[in-house]
A and B are shown apart, each in its own frame.
Chain A
Amino acid sequence: MIQVENLEFQYPGNDSPTLKGLNFEIDKGEVFGFLGPSGAGKSTTQKVLYKILNGYRGSVWIDGKDLSGWDNTYFGKIGVGFELPNHYLKLTGRENMDLFASFYPDGRKQKVEELFEMVDLQEALNKRVEAYSKGMKMRLNFIRAIQHNPDILFLDEPTAGLDPVNAHKIKQHILDLKAAGKTIFVTTHNMNTADEICDRVSFIVDGELKTTDSPQKLKSQYGKEAIRVELKDGRMEEFPLDKLGENTAFLTFIKQAEVKHIQTLEASLEEVFIQITGKSLVS
Chain B
Amino acid sequence: MKKILRLALIDFKIIFRDPSLRVFLVLPVILFVLIVWLVPYLVAKYEFLVPYLSLMLVGAVIENTQMYSFISSMVLIDEKETNVAKTYGVVPLTKRQYILSRMLIPYLFTVALNVILFWVQPFFTIGWGTNLILSLLAGLVVPVYVLAINAIAENRMQGMVYVKAFNLLVLVPIVAFFVPDNFKHLFGIFPTHWVFQSVNNATLGLPFGWLAAIGFLFFGVLLWWVSKLFIRKHFV
On A, residues with C-beta under 8 Å from B are 50-53, 72-76, 78, 80, 82, 84, 86-91, 95, 99-100, 102-105, 128, 144
Contacts and interface: CB of A to CB of B under 8 A. Distances in A.
A99 B7 contact: yes
Contacts of A100: 87, 91
Given A91-B13, A102-B3, A86 B84 contact: yes
Given A52-B236, A88-B84, A99 B10 contact: yes
Contacts of A86: 82-84, 86-87
A80 B13 CA distance: 25
Nearest to B7: A99
Contacts of A104: 91-92
Interface of B: 2-3, 6-7, 10, 13-14, 17-18, 79, 82-84, 86-87, 89-94, 235-236
A134 to B, nearest CB: 13
Contact of B84 (A50, A53, A87, A105): A87
Given A102-B7, A103-B3, 10 more contacts: A52-B90, A82-B83, A87-B82, A87-B84, A88-B14, A88-B84, A90-B17, A91-B14, A99-B10, A104-B92
B18 A90 contact: yes
Contacts of B2: 102
Contact of B90 (A80, A95, A99, A102): A80
B3 A50 contact: no
Contacts of B84: 86-88
B11 to A, nearest CB: 10
Contacts of A102: 2-3, 6-7
A102 B18 CA distance: 23
A75 B90 contact: yes
B12 to A, nearest CB: 11
A41 B13 CA distance: 37
A230 B184 CA distance: 96
Contacts of A105: 92
A88 B79 CA distance: 7
B92 A73 contact: yes
Nearest to A82: B86
Given A82-B83, A90-B18, A53 B92 contact: no
Given A87-B84, A99-B10, A75 B17 contact: no
Contacts of A84: 83
Nearest to A74: B92
A89 B82 CA distance: 9
Contacts of A82: 83, 86-87
Contacts of A75: 90-93
Given A52-B86, A53-B236, A91-B13, A72 B18 contact: no
A144 B88 CA distance: 12
A11 to B, nearest CB: 10
A73 B90 CA distance: 10
Contacts of A72: 92-94
Contact of B92 (A80, A87, A103, A128): A103
**A72, A80, A99: residue with the most chain B Cβ atoms closer than 10 Å:** A99
A89 B87 CA distance: 14
Contacts of B18: 90
Contacts of B93: 72, 75, 103
Nearest to B95: A72
Nearest to A75: B92
B6 A90 contact: no
A82 B235 CA distance: 13
29 contacts: A50-B89, A50-B90, A52-B86, A52-B89, A52-B235, A52-B236, A73-B92, A75-B90, A75-B91, A75-B92, A75-B93, A76-B92, A78-B90, A80-B90, A82-B83, A84-B83, A86-B84, A86-B87, A87-B84, A88-B84, A90-B13, A90-B17, A91-B17, A95-B10, A99-B10, A102-B3, A103-B92, A104-B91, A104-B92
